[in-house]
Chain A
Amino acid sequence: MTTLIEAEKLTRILAETVPVTLVKNVSLTIGENEFVAVTGPSGSGKSSLLYLLGLLDRPTSGTLRIGGRDAGPMSEAQRARTRLAMLGFVFQFHFLLPEFSARENVEIPMRKLARLSRGEMRERAGGLLESLGLADHADKRPDQLSGGQRQRVAVARALANDPPLVLADEPTGSLDSKSSEQVFSILEALVREGGKTVVAVTHDLDMAARMDRRIHLVDGMIENGERRHAAERA
């Protein structure tokens, strides 16, 4: 199993008047084809850890290796490039660009990466949306879609550049149970059938129980981060 993320003693302290420790001494490795839940009570630093892993935030101390490369000395542009090619984000709120149609939203990361031709991008965006059951909604703008549909577009966008790692921050947090289930199965399918690694922050323990591995955070520290075996899961 290849290692995608390797974190060592990650600590993130917000430099406020009273310093706030978000993440403390977190060390973990995440490999290919894993389905990881990050759980913990509110304010335990789940999202903060995810942002650190996703290169959206810089750790105060500790090292982070992503795809074997040390992220510490990377320039802002290199980090952006890495995010573009290696990472896909799904947030609690869909965070689609409101002026663009679903298809355009999915195409934007591809156009930024500029690895495919425009025709191929269009085709791939269409294919991604279709595979997520959005074939009829490709040309609608986000405000014309339901919450579940938007979140699925967001998933499609996260997959646009075929990244090995998808980071999801409460991806079902603002959805009803039916849509939640739908989005969850999509993420699950990404791991089981697509061979991706999905790291999802969730406070839904049922959902966490259905994933392969659970990292439980309390007060910014890992309380339990073991891998479970398939047998246990069942």
Chain B
Amino acid sequence: MRLIIDIAMTHIAGRGRQTLVAVIGVAVGVGFSIAMAALMQGGQDDFVEQLVNTMPHVQVTDEQRTARRQPAEDAFDAVAISGLRPRDDRRGIINPTEALSWLEGWIPGRFAPSLRTQGVIRYSSREVGAAIIGVDPEAEPAVSPIVGEFVQGSFAGLTAGGNNIVVGDTMAERLGAGLGDTVTAVSSEGLSRNFRIVGLFHTGTTARDEGEAYVLLKNAQILSARPNAINEIRIKLDDPNAASAVARRVEAEIGYKAVAWQEANESILEALVVRNVIMYTVVAAIMLVAGFGIYNIISTITHEKARDIAIMKSLGFGEADMRRLFLLEGVAIGAGGSALGWLLGFSLVYALSLVRFELAATGQEMTRLPIAWSVVHYIIASSFALGSAAVAGYLPARRAARLNPVDIIRGAT
């Protein structure tokens, strides 16, 4: 076996340029596969992360998933109910203190209660419809995606004396108002109140920047005439993947609808599965092309070595020796190419990670290419390369090893 290895290495070393071309061929395939995988995986991870970050992991609202079971249904077997209307209950989540302290006990993460109501923000003659959200400035930063997006001011400004409000910059622009201006908030109850703008945020999501206004919880309760009520608990978990389980438990215990982010974005996640399929198809296609390159190069080498195969067979080497020899050469080229491909892939990924650009039109700004650094990409790419190099070395070697040396010796010049 040592002899076979020696011959293989001498063959490879003795053909510097060809070996280099072969190794580079493999390396390019491996490198680009790695870069593509990193880019596509990165894009997806980034997307999911945005999804997870911009919304609460679990959102508990004062709605019920199904209409309450009517007593008539319990009393009689044949009951058909139609036109059932939800009861006008303005209390929001009943017993909020108890619910919150229960959550406090076990939730692996942070949460904040809030009261969301529909209203209009008015500034002189201009009006913009808005979701007026009453929050607790202490708890809110822990669950809100807006915290880091303030252009001016912050949630803390809400606690400073007087009636204060935080709005998105797009809304402020449409109203023509700026920081420090006093706007009027009108609720669907018809109540109105004046607020001074103490903060402007810009998340990049137009719906948010244009349609959300944050005030103190107490003020929201006054505006909507629902004293002490909250209708929303937003939960941010340490591990976003635990959201489904947490949501189930909360819903079972409190009875209100608790929606995990996965459920809220089901269609998007489904689309991601499709995207995943596309990603793997693209990466597999690149690898397939690389595999053919490897096959080509190694089978060419094997064909060129047909004479040497005949010589060695006439000396007394068996077919198995010849197969092993060229398999070894294929694998060696594959291994060398993989190693170089790792380097190439790493540099490509690094180079891509340095690319910066501005994108404001799509709503969500992106300043860097999202890149996923994963060892798995490297392992998959190189094992594929090694595999195809082995096949690429084996198939022509098997054919060549079977050749009758006499045919080659006869035809030699």
Contacts and interface: CB of A to CB of B under 8 A. Distances in A.
B65 interface: no
Nearest to B307: A95
Contacts of A113: 316
Interface residues of B, number: 30
A165 to B, nearest CB: 13
A108 B15 CA distance: 19
Nearest to B2: A111
B316 A157 contact: no
A89 B315 contact: yes
Contacts, number: 79
The winner among B11, B315, B404, B406 for most chain A CB atoms within 10 A is: B315
Given A57-B404, A93-B412, A99-B11, A112 B314 contact: no
Q: 7 closest Cβ contacts across the A-B interface?
A: A84-B316, A99-B14, A80-B318, A83-B316, A111-B3, A77-B318, A95-B311
B319 interface: yes
A76 to B, nearest CB: 6
Contacts of A83: 314-316
Interface string A155-185: 0010000000000010000000000000000
A112 B412 contact: no
Contact of A112 (B10, B13, B315, B320): B315
Given A89-B314, A93-B412, A108 B3 contact: yes
Contact of B409 (A85, A91, A108): A91
Contacts of A100: 10
B262 to A, nearest CB: 61
B316 A57 contact: no
Contacts of B316: 80-85, 87, 109, 112-113
B317 A80 contact: yes
B410 interface: yes
Contacts of A111: 2-3, 6
A157 B314 CA distance: 12
Interface residues of A, number: 32
Contacts of B3: 108, 111-112
Contacts of A104: 10
B311 A76 contact: no
Interface in B303-322: 307-308, 310-321
B149 to A, nearest CB: 66
Nearest to A78: B318
Contacts of B13: 99
A98 interface: yes
Contact of B315 (A48, A57, A76, A157): A157
Contacts of B11: 99
A80 B404 CA distance: 12
The winner among A77, A87, A95, A169 for most chain B CB atoms within 10 A is: A95
A81 B406 CA distance: 17
Given A56-B314, A57-B404, A83-B314, A97 B308 contact: yes
B31 interface: no
Interface string A20-57: 00000000000000000000000000011001001011
Contacts of B341: none
A77 B320 contact: yes
B410 A47 contact: yes
A85 B10 CA distance: 24
30 contacts: A51-B406, A51-B409, A56-B314, A56-B406, A56-B409, A76-B319, A77-B318, A80-B321, A81-B316, A83-B315, A84-B315, A85-B316, A87-B316, A89-B315, A91-B314, A91-B409, A93-B412, A95-B310, A97-B7, A97-B308, A99-B15, A100-B10, A108-B3, A108-B7, A108-B312, A108-B315, A111-B2, A111-B3, A112-B316, A112-B317
Interface of B: 2-3, 6-7, 10-11, 13-15, 307-308, 310-321, 404-406, 409-410, 412-413
A118 to B, nearest CB: 9
Contact of A97 (B15, B311, B404): B311
B315 A109 contact: yes
Given A95-B307, A108-B7, 9 more contacts: A47-B410, A51-B406, A51-B409, A80-B313, A80-B316, A91-B314, A95-B310, A98-B308, A112-B317
A198 to B, nearest CB: 17
Contact of B10 (A47, A87, A99, A109): A99
A112 B4 CA distance: 9
A64 to B, nearest CB: 15
Interface in A92-107: 93, 95-100, 104
A114 to B, nearest CB: 8
A230 to B, nearest CB: 33
Given A84-B315, A95-B311, A100-B10, A57 B406 contact: yes
Nearest to A75: B318
Nearest to A76: B319
Nearest to B9: A99
A77 B412 CA distance: 24
A233 to B, nearest CB: 31
Nearest to A113: B316
Nearest to B316: A84
A99 B304 CA distance: 13
A171 B10 CA distance: 27
A100 B410 CA distance: 23
Contacts of B406: 48, 51, 56-57
Contacts of A80: 313, 316-319, 321
Contacts of A91: 314, 409, 412
The winner among B2, B310, B316 for most chain A CB atoms within 10 A is: B316
A57 B404 CA distance: 7
A117 to B, nearest CB: 13
A10 B139 CA distance: 99
B173 to A, nearest CB: 75
A68 B28 CA distance: 57
Contacts of A47: 410
